[in-house]
């Protein structure tokens, strides 16, 4: 099947999914973070009875509503693409991947959309406390939606709590809690939502800073900046902690991604982290070129981040391809890493054993079924490698992952300083005099979006060529459709998403220029 598949279908399907996901992620983080900021503001209104807090809450709620409405469209299209472009994947993992998405749709999204009506239209129609509860439930529901989506994504990065059934040729869930609470899922959820909180905080501060520069709505701006800077500072510090946890999971479960993040070709003990560097263009894993044109690194830091051991061995791309180094497996045992070529052979054995099992099942030969099933089980952890022809195909786009990682981390550190400085100055009542910082705050908004997108590039490009780590590559996951259909929908979606983005920006800018309605009603 794979040999006859037009490779351009794979490339265009990947491009279409990446396009949809990146546009979708423009809208999502603002929704996740702004919902909680609004809830905090309304809580202060209910506790103090200050009508100014009600006006502030309603203003940010308007911007939240604009973003929420437009973001839904891209999310719906994204989920449909699993069936249209990735039907082999959907069949192979539907029993597992579908469960979190079903919970997201039935519970979280239902709760979110039910109470959003009360949140927007229930002012003066329900009690203050019930309206506040509705606002908090919208915020919780939005983040629960993210939870189930991220659990599904984390399972693709680290398939846990599952068993492959050769009779149905499907992966089946055997332990829901292992899927939900896998260390990859926990870290991914916490890291993603806190980075979204950070982005929303920057958004609120930037717009509030614009009002201060214009001399408009000063009280709204100052109060909004206090809430957002506190929320943002806490979130940005937590992003760092969850990023540390994510680095450990990547080091143990996706070593090729970690190597790509650092442009590390030859591993060693006590590896440093490159703070600033430039990978050599055209570098191939088995050539003699220096991996970097230049680099400035922090000694031993990569070993510390990946293994919490300054002298730990960190495998590079060449080590992972060639194998032979030792590492700890899932049971904590020291084992020798097989080469990628050996993994490919084991994958081919697994695929052939599945085919032979199916044949024996059709013939009713239970003895041979058991024999082939045993071979399949012994080699299943490398099942996906059987679809690969070249060990080098397991190497992701190193320069893209390398630079994206540095953009994400560098901006993350910048945001910690930014929130701390803004909070200090607004509390000291000196912020209005720092016009340079107010102007900088506006330009921090696109930087927050850049950091957010860079994080997803690291996560998703870094795990290529895998749709499911080690079990299913993209080449085996796509639908058997014509490349022309994918190309047409790619450009169609590009036009639609761009129009939606332009529409959102125009509506947002118009609403920001208008400012909040006078009065709290």
**Domain limits, the chain:** 7-254+396-511, 263-336, 340-391
Helix (H) or strand (E) holding 171: strand 170-173
d(Cα 87, Cα 481) in Å, to the nearest integer?
Answer: 10
| DSSP label of 215 | T
Q: What percent of the chain has pLDDT over 70?
A: 97
CA distances to 18, 376, 384 from 371, in Å: 41, 9, 21
Q: Which tokens belong to 210?
A: 């614009």
Q: Report the first-to-last Cα separation within the chain, whole angstroms.
A: 63
Maximal CA-CA distance, the chain: 84
C-alpha atoms less than 13 angstroms from C-alpha of 60 in its C-beta half-sphere:
33
Q: What is the arithmetic mean of pLDDT over 258-284?
A: 92
pLDDT at 275 over 60: yes
**What integer pLDDT is reported at residue 3 of this predicted model?**
44
d(Cα 83, Cα 60) in Å, to the nearest integer?
Answer: 36
Whether 475 contacts 465, CB under 8 Å: yes
Q: Which tokens belong to 212?
A: 């201060």
Mean pLDDT of the chain: 91
Strand, helix or coil at 317? helix
pTM of the predicted model over 0.85: yes
**What integer pLDDT is reported at residue 4 of this predicted model?**
45
CA 106, chain centre distance (Å): 22
**Opening angle at CA 158, ends 152 and 159, nearest 5:** 70
Q: Which tokens belong to 87?
A: 């039907």
Whether 4 contacts 93, CB under 8 Å: no
**What integer pLDDT is reported at residue 157 of this predicted model?**
93
pLDDT at 497 over 70: yes
d(Cα 364, Cα 358) in Å, to the nearest integer?
Answer: 10
Whether 293 contacts 280, CB under 8 Å: yes
d(Cα 394, Cα 463) in Å, to the nearest integer?
Answer: 9
**What integer pLDDT is reported at residue 1 of this predicted model?**
41
Whether 34 contacts 468, CB under 8 Å: no
d(Cα 206, Cα 387) in Å, to the nearest integer?
Answer: 49
pLDDT tens-place string over residues 215-252:
999 999 999 999 999 999 999 999 999 999 999 999 99
d(Cα 252, Cα 230) in Å, to the nearest integer?
Answer: 34
| Cross-strand bridge partners of residue 426 | none
Q: Which tokens belong to 39?
A: 């809830």
pLDDT tens-place string over residues 40-96:
999 999 999 999 999 999 999 999 999 987 877 777 788 788 888 888 888 888 778
As a three-state string, the secondary structure of 351-388 is HHHHHHHHHHHHHCCHHHHHHHHHHHHHHHHHHHHHHC
Whether 487 contacts 29, CB under 8 Å: no
């Amino acid at each position: 099947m794979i040999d006859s598949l037009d490779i351009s279908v794979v490339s265009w399907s990947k491009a279409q999914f990446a396009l949809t996901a990146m546009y979708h992620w423009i809208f999502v983080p603002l929704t996740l973070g702004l919902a909680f900021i609004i809830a905090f503001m309304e809580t202060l209104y209910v506790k103090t009875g200050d009508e100014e807090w009600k006006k502030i809450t309603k203003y940010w709620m308007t911007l939240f509503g604009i973003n929420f409405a437009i973001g839904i469209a891209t999310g719906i299209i994204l989920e449909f693409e699993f069936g249209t472009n990735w039907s082999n994947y959907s069949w192979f993992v539907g029993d597992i991947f579908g469960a979190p998405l079903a919970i997201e749709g039935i519970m979280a999204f239902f709760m979110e959309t039910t109470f959003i009506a009360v949140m927007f239209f229930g002012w003066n129609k329900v009690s203050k406390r019930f309206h506040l509860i509705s606002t908090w439930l919208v915020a919780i529901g939005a983040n629960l939606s993210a939870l189930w989506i991220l659990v599904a994504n984390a399972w693709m990065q680290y398939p846990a709590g599952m068993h492959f059934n050769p009779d149905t040729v499907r992966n089946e869930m055997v332990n829901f809690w292992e899927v939900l609470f896998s260390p990859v899922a926990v870290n991914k959820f916490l890291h993603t939502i806190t980075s979204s909180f950070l982005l929303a905080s920057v958004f609120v501060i930037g717009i509030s800073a614009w009002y201060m520069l214009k001399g408009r709505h000063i009280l709204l701006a100052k109060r909004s900046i206090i809430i957002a800077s506190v929320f943002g500072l806490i979130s940005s510090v937590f992003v760092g902690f969850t990023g540390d946890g994510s680095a450990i999971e990547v080091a143990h479960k996706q070593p090729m991604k970690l190597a790509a993040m650092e442009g590390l070709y030859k591993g060693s003990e006590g590896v440093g982290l490159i703070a600033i560097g430039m990978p050599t263009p055209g570098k191939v894993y088995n050539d003699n070129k220096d991996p970097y044109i230049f680099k400035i690194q922090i000694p031993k830091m990569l070993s510390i981040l990946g293994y919490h051991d300054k002298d730990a061995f960190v495998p590079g791309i060449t080590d992972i391809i060639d194998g032979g180094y030792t590492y700890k497996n899932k049971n904590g045992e020291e084992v020798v890493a097989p080469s990628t070529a050996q993994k490919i052979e084991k994958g081919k054995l697994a695929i052939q054993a599945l085919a032979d099992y199916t044949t024996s099942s059709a013939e009713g030969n239970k003895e041979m079924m058991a024999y082939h099933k045993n071979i399949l089980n012994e080699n299943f952890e490398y099942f996906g490698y059987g679809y690969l022809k070249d060990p080098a195909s397991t190497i992701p786009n190193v320069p893209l992952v390398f630079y994206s990682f540095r953009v994400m981390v560098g901006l993350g550190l910048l945001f910690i300083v930014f929130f701390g400085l803004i909070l200090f100055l607004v509390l000291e009542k000196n912020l209005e005099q720092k016009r340079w910082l107010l102007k900088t705050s506006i330009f921090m908004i696109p930087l927050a979006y850049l950091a957010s997108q860079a994080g997803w590039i690291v996560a998703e490009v870094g795990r290529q060529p895998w749709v499911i780590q080690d079990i299913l590559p993209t080449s085996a996951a796509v639908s058997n459709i014509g490349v022309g259909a994918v190309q047409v929908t790619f450009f169609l979606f590009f036009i639609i998403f761009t129009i939606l983005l332009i529409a959102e920006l125009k509506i947002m800018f118009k609403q920001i220029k208008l400012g909040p309605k006078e009065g709290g009603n």
